[in-house]
Structure 1
Amino acid sequence: MRTVVFDLDGTLADTSGDLLAAANACFQAMGEGDVLRVETDAGTALRGGKAMLTLGLTRLGRMDAALVDSYYPMLLEAYGAAIDTHTFLYPGAMQAVADLSAMGYGVGICTNKPEALAEQLMASLGARDAFGALVGADTLAVRKPDPEPLFETARRLGGDPAKTLLIGDSVTDRETARAAGVPSVLVTFGPSGEDMAALTPEALLHDYADLPDMVQDLIGVNR
Structure 2
Amino acid sequence: MRTVIFDLDGTLADTSRDLIGAANACFAGLGHGMPLDPVTDAATAFQGGRAMLRLGFGRLDHPAVEDAVTEQFPIFLDHYARDIDRHTRLYPGAVAAVDRLRDAGYAVGICTNKPEGLAETLMRRLGVRDRFDSLIGADTLPVRKPDPAPYRAAVEQAGGAVDRSVLIGDTVTDRDTARAAGVPCVLVGFGPAAAAMPDLAPAALLSHYDDLFDLVGRLIP
1:20-43, Cα deviation, whole Å (9 max, x unpaired): 000000000110111101121000
- SS, match of residue 160 in structure 2: coil
Check whether the contact 2:7–2:167 (CA below 8 A) recurs between aligned residues.
yes
AA matched with 1:33 = G
For 1:50, the equivalent position in structure 2 comes to 50
Structure 2 unaligned regions, length at least 5: none
Distance (Å, rounded) in 1 between the aligned partners of 2:65 and 2:182: 37
1:121-147, Cα deviation, whole Å (9 max, x unpaired): 000100111101000000001100001
Q: Give the TM-score, by structure 2 length.
A: 0.98
Check whether the contact 2:21–2:38 (CA below 8 A) recurs between aligned residues.
no
For 1:208, the equivalent position in structure 2 comes to 209
Distance (Å, rounded) in 1 between the aligned partners of 2:173 and 2:138: 13
Q: Give the TM-score, by structure 1 length.
A: 0.97
For 1:138, the equivalent position in structure 2 comes to 139
1:93-124, Cα deviation, whole Å (9 max, x unpaired): 01000000011110000000000000000001
Residue identity over aligned pairs, in percent, reads: 58
> What is the correspondence of 1:27-38 to structure 2 with a 5 Å cutoff?
27-38=27-38
For 1:8, the equivalent position in structure 2 comes to 8
Q: Displacement, 1:64? A: 2.0
Tell me, yes or no, if structure 1 residue 26 matches structure 2 residue 26. yes
Check whether the contact 2:136–2:150 (CA below 8 A) recurs between aligned residues.
yes
Q: Displacement, 1:66? A: 1.1
Structure 1 unaligned regions, length at least 5: none
For 2:76, the equivalent position in structure 1 comes to 75
- SS, match of residue 134 in structure 1: strand
1:25-79, Cα deviation, whole Å (9 max, x unpaired): 0000110111101121000011001100000000000052111101101100000
Distance (Å, rounded) in 1 between the aligned partners of 2:65 and 2:6: 33
For 1:188, the equivalent position in structure 2 comes to 189
Q: Which moved more, 1:104-113 or 1:158-167?
A: 158-167
AA matched with 1:69 = T
For 1:158, the equivalent position in structure 2 comes to 159
Q: Displacement, 1:191? A: 1.1
For 1:103, the equivalent position in structure 2 comes to 104
AA matched with 1:75 = F
- SS, match of residue 41 in structure 2: helix
AA matched with 1:108 = G
- SS, match of residue 38 in structure 1: coil
AA matched with 2:214 = D
Distance (Å, rounded) in 2 between the aligned partners of 1:119 and 1:68: 25
Supply the RMSD in Å over aligned alpha carbons: 0.7
Distance (Å, rounded) in 2 between the aligned partners of 1:59 and 1:188: 28
Q: How many residues align?
A: 220
